[in-house]
Structure 1
Amino acid sequence: MSDVKEVDVLIIGAGPAGSMAAREASRNGARTLIIDKKSEIGTPKRCGEGIMDGVLESVGITADERWIARHIDGARLVAPDGTSAWFTSETLETPATGIILERKVFDKHVTMDAIRSGAEVMIKTEATGITREGDYLLVDIRSFNNEYSQIKARIVIGADGPEGRVSSWMGINTKVPLAEMESGAQYEMTNLKMEKSDTIEFYFGSVAPGGYAWIFPKGYDTANVGIDVSGVKGDKTALEYLDDFVKNNPETCDGQIVEVNVGGNPLCGVFDTLIADNFMLVGDAAGCVSPITGGGIDTGLESGMIAGRVAARAIRENDVSVDNLREYADYVDEHIGKKFRKLITVRDFIYNLDDDDMNEYLGAIARANITKLSTRSLLKAMIKVSPRKLLKLRKLL
């Protein structure tokens, strides 16, 4: 086993947030290394793979048809009684368009962008602990080729996802209360009979207690079909709720499963502490996950981009203290955390509705003349049903 490998910036986790951090750190002059414990970047996928148009452009990624599974035109919201609110180019003045990614290809693309910018990558390499040595962090690793036993870095960026351990090694509390942790399960399915195979679908109510079910098309008869359920509501597992949903939904009941994914999803918003001396958290590991949808690709990319730039600047200035990294934490709080705190209020209201109330509110949304799909426009339609009951949400408009 050779000597310790030394770098400026070490990123633990090669998901979109980690690879984006690596791209920006290396572009800005830092010697950067990404490690990932998996043998293949991008697997297993842990999300519905959907993002809105404009997200990639905002972080300097040019869309490539090789990793776009489906172009999406709007959304469908479905109440427990089957009432549907459609938001497509036929109903909206401002289109709500997006894409469904093929994460197995997309994640590799972002990592390859980092490599082309100068970063190194070590796959099938697991971080097992961190110790401090002066103004450096020493990360113990276990690698398939046993080339190194430790990596010495001025800055470590934790990008190891919602169930990561790196934050705890640095004394940062990222434990999520059970009430704010969703259990998720998803099938990639084919032979589906979707009413519109270019529209994402969300199903609410007792079909998914404290959460929602979804159908995200990846082709004319293929889609990600999944569910998120509250950790403290319901009496079945996420997989059991998903099986019931698949069996009872006319679009999915004849489908066949080709892939299974399960895992936890934190809906608590951005964690209170994201930085320490020599250290930053990004993406899901930082809580950059929407408290309503559980989506985090967009905010993961954004947080990684800023973290990489701040890390490179700190290296140039030879100051990797927590005070000099605060620019990153302040950015995340202002651009992601503040928005998520408002969404938590909406989440707590929506996911506590019973089926009758959900039918009433989604019925109002379906009848409203909504020409721009946004949280604000949906809230305005709901408030007309019961202004007094939704008094708290009026403050968000």
Structure 2
Amino acid sequence: MSEIKEVDVLVIGAGPAGSMAGKCAAENGAKTLIIEKKSEIGTPKRCAEGIRDSDIEKLGLDIDERCIARCIDGASIISPNNTRAMFTTENIKANITGVVLERKVFDKHLTMDAIRCGCEVMIKTEATSMKRDSDGCFIVDVVSFQEKRTQIKAKIVIGADGPEGHTGPWAGINTKVPQKEMESGVQYEMTNMKMLKNDSLEFYFGSVAPGGYAWIFPKGYDTANVGIDINSAKAQKSAIEYLNDFIADCYATQDAQIVEINVGGNPLCGVFDEITTDNFMLVGDAAGCVNPVTGGGIDTAIESGMIAGEVAAKAIANGDYSKDALSDYVDYIDEHINQKFKKLIKIRDFIYDELDDSDLDEFTKALSEADFDEFSFKNMLKILMKTSPRKLLKLRKLL
């Protein structure tokens, strides 16, 4: 019979959501274990690695300087005809700075913080199945180093295994994403770039990336993450073909070469209808905590993990691991993340379904001439409303 290891809280996945969940559960008194199937935490990276300074401050993060690849001053939006709207600290006062992380270092640091708070971590340990015990707790089958098979019994399991994870379905939660809300992404890390401003993000919209966008996120004076997200239902080619075409046409990448390739899917459906059941919670990408417009999710991953860990520890202390006992987590996610995402989904559908290349050229020109203090979707929509009131009338309620 397999060895059984017993814990209060088992976190499956050591990304930002999982590590933060483990840290917060452990520092609030729960016996906590994080398992990670990969042999190195933080690899391969699955995002462009950017996070805003305002989100860092909101989450109370103290990011080690070794985790930061580049400090960022602003962003540019580039339309199909190369009209550029640039927003930096020279013309925007708030919400315009941030950092591009080195996720291979950052994720590891978050896990180390969890360990320092009393959390146990097992890497190269993969969950292969999960079932309930007679007392309602979960028994998770895992395979670790040298194919060693073990069982872990947990009063609460936190699923932090990403957009293609299995823990949600194992717990009886439907996490299937409709094709129209699933993005296909490819990203190259490239060097020998020729960037107009090598400390500013660039976003390219229109037919260059059907149902999505292309991006350049600087990581150094001539190095950057260059990627693309597309909606396969709207596209005529694969994501990698669109990315290669973008690179061939973009001045910044003409002489650049690839040093790393990352691929993956990105759910833009918003938070799933269910993210908890008895003895179980989903966090981060596994819960759908991914921005439906940008596909970004580092901040919401950390935020969801933080709250899930606190709620889990409280449930352990009270001896009640039911769905009702975990409802504070659901309530928080709904108020602080899901309600915002519901509005962003409407904005996403408008941008990707209603606007053609000529519209985007016109609107980007209007943005380039606009004057506002804070960089936000709300302020951009106000400018666009003035440009084309008829098309944007349907979005008035979002303002």
TM-score with structure 2 setting the length: 0.98
Distance 2:91 2:317 in 1: 51
8 A contact 2:53–2:95 mirrored in 1: no
Alpha-carbon distance between aligned partners in 2 of 1:72 and 1:267, rounded to the nearest angstrom: 25
Contact 1:154 1:320 in 2 (8 A): yes
Distance 1:19 1:56 in 2: 16
Partner of 1:141: 142
Once the two structures are superposed, the pairs formed by residues 14-25 of structure 1 within 5 Å of their partners are 14-25=14-25
d(CA) in 1 for partners of 2:334, 2:54? 21
In structure 1, the partner of 2:247 is 246
Cα deviation, residue 135, structure 1:
2.6
Contact 2:292 2:344 in 1 (8 A): yes
Which one-letter code corresponds to 1:313 in the other structure? Answer: K
Distance in 1 (alpha carbons) for counterparts of 2:63 and 2:162: 24
Structure 1, residues 72-124: CA drift from partner, whole Å, max 9, x if none?
Answer: 00000000000000000111132510000000000000000000000001111
- In structure 1, the partner of 2:5 is 5
* Structure 1 residue 60 displacement after superposition: 3.5
User: 2:374 is matched by which residue type in structure 1?
Assistant: K
Which ranges of structure 2 fall in alignment gaps of 5 or more residues? none
Q: Which string of whole-angstrom CA distances, capped at 9 and with x for unpartnered residues, describes residues 265-298 of structure 1?
A: 0100000000000000000000000000000000
Q: 1:346 corresponds to which residue?
A: 347
SS at the partner of 2:398? Answer: coil
What CA distance in whole angstroms lies between the structure 2 residues aligned with 1:166 and 1:2? 21
| 1:89–1:95 CA contact under 8 A, matched in 2 | no
Structure 2 counterpart of 1:61, one-letter code: L
Task: Supply the AA of the counterpart residue of 1:116.
Answer: R
Residues 232 and 238 of structure 2 are in contact (CA less than 8 Å); yes or no, is this contact kept in structure 1? no
Partner SS for 2:184: strand
1:358 aligns with one of 357, 360, 372: 360
C-alpha separation in 2, matches of 1:104 and 1:295: 17
Corresponding residue for residue 41 of structure 2: 41
How many residue pairs match? The answer is: 397
Instruction: Find the counterpart in structure 2 of residue 301 from structure 1.
Output: 302
- Aligned equivalent of 2:372: 370
- 2: distance between equivalents of 1:149 and 1:185? 35
Q: Aligned residue for 2:257?
A: 256
Select the residue among 371, 375, 386 that pairs with 2:388. Answer: 386
Matching of residues 1-397 of structure 1 within 5 Å: 3-94=3-94, 96-133=96-133, 134-145=135-146, 149-352=150-353, 353-397=355-399
Shift of 1:351: 1.0
Contact 2:13 2:37 in 1 (8 A): yes
Distance in structure 1 (CA, Å) of the matches to 2:11 and 2:95: 37
Rounded to whole Å, the distance in 2 between the matches of 1:55 and 1:376 is 17
Aligned residues of 1:4 and 1:148 also touching (Cα < 8 A): no
2: CA distance between counterparts of 1:96 and 1:203?
Answer: 18
Tell me the distance in 2 between the aligned counterparts of 1:58 and 1:363: 32
SS of alignment partner, residue 76 of structure 1: strand
Moved more, 92-101 or 3-12: 92-101
Determine helix, strand or coil for the equivalent of 2:185.
strand
Conserved in 2, the CA contact under 8 Å of 1:52 and 1:97? yes
**Native 8 Å contact 2:155 2:321 kept in 1:** yes
- Contact 1:2–1:147 (8 Å) recurs in 2: no
CA distance in 1, matches of 2:123, 2:398: 44
How big is the shift at 1:2?
6.0
Distance in 2 separating the partners of 1:60 and 1:360: 39
Q: Aligned with 2:24: secondary structure?
A: helix
- Letter matched to residue 382 of structure 2: K
Task: Please identify which structure carries the higher helix content.
Answer: 2
Where in structure 1 are there 5+ consecutive unaligned residues? none
CA drift at 1:231:
2.0
**Residue 144 of structure 1 aligns to which amino acid in structure 2?**
F
CA distance in 1: counterparts of 2:93 and 2:187, whole angstroms: 32
Instruction: Using the TM superposition, give the Cα deviation of residue 367 of structure 1 relative to its aligned residue in structure 2, in angstroms.
Output: 1.6
Aligned equivalents of 2:65, 2:272: Cα separation in 1: 35
Deviation at 1:173, TM superposition (A): 0.5
CA distance, structure 2, for counterparts of residue 108 and residue 377 of structure 1:
36
Q: Tell me the C-alpha RMSD between the 2 structures.
A: 1.1
